[in-house]
A and B are shown apart, each in its own frame.
Chain A
Amino acid sequence: MAPKYLDERKYNTGEIVFSEGDASAEMFIVLEGNVGIVKKVAGREIFLAAQGRGDFFGEMAVLDSQPRTATCFAIVPTTLVAIRSGELLMKLRRDPTFALEMLQQMGRRISYLEHELAKVMEHELASRQEMAKIVAKSEYAAGDRRP
């Protein structure tokens, strides 16, 4: 049961919690079940992460009033606790270590994103080097054919 000042919400399998681009000022804690986070990239849906019991998500909407950057749906029947901005401050006063756990989880997400970014950059660098080799080869071949 959620505390009186927080909303507890139940979702069935596949039900959307929020969609990419939605304006909202709530974050969520998973009380029971699992949710999936997906994002549209070049018209395709990419699965970003699954969040389980005790995890939280959607905090950017509360902290920075940003529209949703991804879509969230229930993977199995799920119960979430919704926290709006004013309630977050109340929650932090009543449960002070929650702030540290938020920082820990956000730190882990930044590490993961840095790792993924490094992989993308590495891939792009390799593609560029490959492209440069092809260009150099074609220029060399063109040079050979020059009179």
Chain B
Amino acid sequence: MMTDVRESRLLVTSDTHVGNLFCDARRGLIRFLDYARANHYNVCINGDGIDVQYTTLKKFTVETAALVRELRRITDDITVYYTIGNHDIILEHYVGDWGGLRLVPFLNVTSGARRIRVEHGHLYDPSLMTHPDLHHGIRRFFALLCRMYPPGYHWHANYQIVRYRYLRRLLGQDRQWLDSPTTRDQSPSFVEAAEELSQRGFDDVIFGHTHYAGMVPLNGNRARYFNTGSWFGQPYYIAINDGNVELKPWPQGAGH
């Protein structure tokens, strides 16, 4: 398992959830991979690229078959790294190199003079780590509700934003970084985890998992935490060009 790589041009996105009953990102992801290939970028799908938890066998088979065909086609020209998340944790059994597709638990990228950590981030989710059974039970119940009433997912997403922007402030748990427009939706647990990782000599730490895209400066601007959000709403990606790391929105409409 090769987790230390050197890349001058790399695109990172996450949480495309191909196969998920409420996410239709397959076509968008294929376009994204085509864009990367045409522009000579390697790609990292940073976890939850496919979703084996909230799917049906029929939907999963149809969606992933098209993605696998695309991956087979493009990996002749570019390398695709796939870091494993929690919705595709079954892929841990396939960790290793599969031609141009490399399945890894995380990626330490050296680009230009910068060291960049790319990891899905589910290991730092307190609810997933401390009460995994309860977490999965709630998620299953929630998935059932969303299946009966699909707009429920967006209600949940809006609730999370309200929670991070306003409720924490009301409860006196606010932090300075929550006031920054690019950082206010980021959960403190993940920011702390990114801070911990940055203290091992990483300039940038990239997570997915939370479904909220953004950037938080760490350690007095010595490092940065990025999150690429999810493809349930506006998709985001990170472009790395010789150590220059930028969070960008993937054009609306291209993602779906």
Contacts and interface: CB of A to CB of B under 8 A. Distances in A.
Q: Which size bracket describes the interface of A in this complex?
A: 10 to 19
A97 B195 contact: no
Contacts of A6: 199
A31 B201 contact: yes
Main secondary structure of the interface of A (DSSP, over half): mixed
B157 interface: no
Contact of B115 (A1, A3, A54): A54
Given A3-B196, A96-B123, A104 B201 contact: no
B123 A29 contact: no
A95 B197 contact: yes
B202 interface: yes
Given A32-B201, A54-B108, 19 more contacts: A1-B199, A1-B220, A1-B222, A2-B199, A3-B195, A6-B199, A29-B200, A31-B201, A54-B115, A54-B200, A94-B196, A95-B196, A95-B197, A95-B200, A96-B123, A97-B105, A97-B106, A97-B123, A104-B3
Interface of B: 1, 3, 105-106, 108, 115, 119, 123, 193, 195-197, 199-202, 219-220, 222
Contacts of B197: 95
A81 B119 contact: no
Query: Among B115, B193, B200, which residue has the most Cβ atoms of chain A within 10 A?
Result: B200
A2 B65 CA distance: 46
A100 B1 CA distance: 11
Contacts of B123: 96-97
Interface in A32-76: 32, 53-54
Contacts of A97: 105-106, 119, 123
Contacts of A104: 1, 3
Contacts of A1: 199, 219-220, 222
Contacts of A100: 105
A32 to B, nearest CB: 7
